Structure 1
Amino acid sequence: MYRIVTKRELVPHIKLFEFSAKEIAVKTKPGQFIILRVDEKGERVPLTMTGADPEKGTITVVCHEVGKSTRQLGQLEEGDCIPDLLGPLGKPAEIEKFGTVLCIGGGVMVAPLYFQAKAFHETGNTVIGGIGARTENQLIFENEMREVCDELYVATDDGTRGYKGLGFLEGLLKERKIDRVITMGPVLMMKTVSELTRPYGVPTIVNLIPIMVDGMGMCGACRVTVGGRTMFACVDGPDFDGHQVDFEELMIRLKMFTPQEKLAFVFQEEGGRSL
């Protein structure tokens, strides 16, 4: 059993959890993820890690309550335990001294982006950060990102805070020498970032967490097409070259079980029934 050491609500429906998981904490590196189950009959939920503390024996994840299982997780409290927590999974992010690294995150994925931005900063890179959300009251990890970024740009989809959308990005690409871009967030955002960086030839890494089941490359549920080849996000990724990813196919696959997800959420709302 894995105990919740810390639980904190960052903004409505987005919560941070610190789990006691020493064997995972000592092996975790930026870019990797875990798969957890809230109970023995629950679905397997992949979450990219936000941090790890080997000395305390804990790992940290941030979860957005968007469906039945993530809502169940959000209802747990400090001291509660979950039965299954598997990790670290996936290949670690490539962290080395590239020069100037631009880290762009959106929504809940700003939290695991911080884990990478911190590592790039500690490796001696100049780190430029860009964080965004739909609206001002959904922004997370702004203070944490400021601590590890030499510059930080804030944006919202509706313009309630900072830049509106990704308007700042093209100017940066034109005016600055960017050696590498890391982007984590909604698939459409990562696609847009990749298309904007393509004409400038800037290597752009996207972090893909599609539908997953086992997380070890056996089921094939997380397959994505990268450079015309079928890859498994769980073992070949989750980081991929954004200029090679077939985003159109990925977005179609992500919607495959939307009706079932909505139905499960409705059943839970009506009293905890399951499909």
Structure 2
Amino acid sequence: MYKIVEKRRLNPSVTWMTIEAPLIARKAKAGQFIILRVDETGERIPLTVAGYDPDKGTVTIIFQKVGKTTMHLDELEVGDFIQDFVGPLGRPTELEGYQKVAVVGGGVGCAIAYPQAKALHQMGVKVDVIAGFRNKDILILEKEMGEVADHLYVMTDDGSNGNKGFVTVKLQELIDAGENYDLVIAIGPLPMMRAVCNLTKEAGIKTIISMNPIMIDGTGMCGGCRIKVGGETKFACVDGPDFDGHQVDFEDAMRRLSIYKPQEKRAMEDHICKLGGIVNNG
């Protein structure tokens, strides 16, 4: 059992939660993830390690309420316990040898982009962070990202924070202005990462993306997280989650991500009904 020692809302649908997990905290690195199970009847879900403190023995996760398990997790409070919390899993992001990096996060993907930017900042690398959101009301981690970035650019689709445009618009502006990035890290929705990769491929800039497909065991045994990279089948849990964005088959990844949508919808409806909510199927 793993105790929740901190919980705070980043926006109405995104939650920051810190868990007592000393063994994981001592070994975790940027880019890795954990798999948790809320209770003994719950499903296993992967969440990226958003932060870790070896001295306190804690690990931070940031999640969005998008399904039954994340809704159930969000119902827990400080002092409650999570049944299983396994990790660190996956390969750490390879950050050595770079001088100037652009870290691009989209929406809740900024929760994954932030530890990458923080690790680079601690290594003395110059880091520009570009964060994108639909509107200013759902901004997360603006203060934290600003503390680890040489320059932070926050974009909104509707311009409600004064900076209208997609993250690719700002990235293109910076490249056109002469910013010589030797690496771009893009983390967020698949369409966003694909758009960033199309831009950086044309500009000749190496690009790493973090893949978060459907995952069950986290050890490469089930094959549920398989993706196509450079024409070969890879498993995000053991070969990733980071991959060369110019080699990933995004179309295949997006098809696989939608496979279980009907089952996810039914599970969500069942959970809401148990809470006394009303489901409108009309």
Regarding TM over 0.5, the answer is: yes
Give 2:196's aligned residue.
193
1:51–1:112 contact (8 Å) kept in structure 2: no
Structure 2 counterpart SS, 1:3: strand
- What's the offset of the Cα at 1:272? 5.2
Is the CA contact 2:15–2:64 (under 8 Å) kept in the aligned structure 1? yes
The alignment status of 1:95 with 2:109, answered yes or no, reads: no
2:137 corresponds to 1:170: no
In structure 2, the residue corresponding to 1:164 is in which secondary structure? coil
Give the counterpart letter for 2:60 in structure 1.
Answer: T
Q: Who is 2:279 aligned against?
A: none
Q: Percent identity?
A: 51
1:262 aligns with 2:265: yes
**For 1:49-60, what aligned pairs fall within 5 Å after superposition?**
49-60=49-60
Tell me how many residue pairs correspond in the alignment. Answer: 273
Partner of 1:26: helix, strand, or coil? helix
Which residue matches 1:13? 13
Task: Structure 1 unaligned segments of length 5 or more: list them.
Answer: none
Distance 1:46 1:147 in 2: 27
Residue 250 of structure 2: aligned partner: 247
How much is the aligned-residue C-alpha RMSD, in angstroms? 1.1
Q: Which residue of 2 aligns with 1:85?
A: 85
SS in 1 for 2:103: strand
Deviation at 1:267, TM superposition (A): 1.0
> For the Cα contact (< 8 Å) 2:131–2:155, is it kept in 1?
yes
Q: Is the 8 A contact 1:49 1:59 kept in 2?
A: yes
Runs of 4+ in 1 over 4 A off after TM superposition: none
Tell me the amino acid that sits aligned with residue 26 of structure 1. Answer: R
Tell me by how many angstroms 1:123 deviates.
1.1
Instruction: Please list the CA deviations of residues 218-265 of structure 1 after superposition, one character each: whole Å capped at 9, or x if unmatched.
Output: 000000000000000000000000000000000000000001101110
Letter in 2 for 1:208: M
Please list, as runs of the form range in 1=range in 2, the aligned pairs for 1:113-132 lying within 5 A after superposition: 113-132=113-132
**Retained in 2: the 8 A contact 1:7–1:15?**
yes
Residue 146 of structure 1 aligns to a residue in which SS? helix
How far apart, in 2, do the equivalents of 1:135 and 1:55 lie? 37
Whole-Å Cα distance in 1 between the matches of residues 218 and 158 of structure 2? 35
Partner of 2:280: none
Per-residue deviation, residues 123-145 of structure 1 (Å, max 9, x unmatched): 11110000111211111001111
Matched, 1:48 2:48: yes
Instruction: Give, as a single letter, the amino acid of the residue that structure 2 aligns with 1:197.
Output: T
